[in-house]
Amino acid sequence: MQQAILDQLLKDRAEKVPVVLATNLKTGAQTLLYLYGKKGSAGWPHEVAEAARTALRHDRSTTIETAAGPVFVNAFNPSLRLIAVGAVHITQVLAPMAALAGYEVTVIDPRSAFATAARFGGFSLRSDWPDEAMADLKPDLRTAIVTLTHDPKLDDPALAAALRSDAFYIGALGSKKTHAARLERLRGLGFSDNELARIHGPIGLSIGAKSPAEIAVSILAEATRELRQEAA
């Protein structure tokens, strides 16, 4: 690998730009390719650029056969992010579990008694309202959003913002009854049933979770399934 390619790759990663390193496994030749535009693709078989975009979208690196030899497309996506609305007990265990699974975690809760450094040391905490926080955080394809407050005036604006984003996972804590009422309120905001189907509620895989830590496991498992199962 040329030093210049390594430097650019590290720069793209620092700036959270999705990038693919393509390597011809026969010759060792390499180039960097991006989700949009043709930069880096000159002189490479056309299917390499297409494979690079697919690899980024599915977060799955792969080797393809081309007339020029096998080419490995290595997808470097920005970190996964978890945005948790509600600095509650479940969040206290979900945040470190998600961090272990590779997520950058942000906790949003305007109630200052909940969102304290003593309870969430080391995690990014925001005390602004969920709709303002979400506008600032700009959730993308690599973002999971969970609402855990049980309080419609905090959860609903966050869910509305989540539905308007490309977030790969949206989960809302609450019983079936609570969730039905929530969907009714969101329908009132103009969301269709198709859009609302993106919300996982009651949140988490059905594994009989009882304690906050077990519920956190079920949430992380469900988010993992959404992230990986399609590509698997």
Q: Which residues bind to other proteins, rule: CB under 8 A?
A: 1-3, 6-7, 9-10, 13-14, 23, 25, 28, 60-63, 72, 74-76, 92-93, 96, 99-100, 102, 121-123
Single out the residue of 204, 196, 211, 208 nearest to residue 226, CA to CA. 204
For other proteins, give the closer residue by CB, 63 or 192: 63
Min CB(86)–other proteins separation in Å: 16
Q: Which of residues 115 and 186 has its CB atom nearest to other proteins in the complex?
A: 115
Nearest distance in Å: CB 192, other proteins: 36
Cα dihedral 16/221/178/130 (nearest 10): -20
- Which C-beta is closer to other proteins: that of 77 or that of 218? 77
Side chain identity, residue 177? K
Number of C-beta neighbours around residue 20 at 10 A: 27
* Cβ proximity to other proteins, 24 vs 165, nearer residue: 24
CB of 169 to other proteins, least distance (A): 19
Cα→Cα distances 5→26, 68, 109, 150, 175, Å: 18, 21, 41, 48, 51
Question: Which CB, 41 or 92, lies closer to other proteins?
Answer: 92
Minimum CB distance to other proteins, residue 121 (Å): 5
CB of 109 to other proteins, least distance (A): 16
- How far is 35 from 164, CA to CA, in rounded Å? 21
Taking the complex as a whole, the smallest distance from the CB of residue 181 to other proteins amounts, in Å, to 32
Nearer to other proteins among residue 8 and residue 178 (C-beta): 8
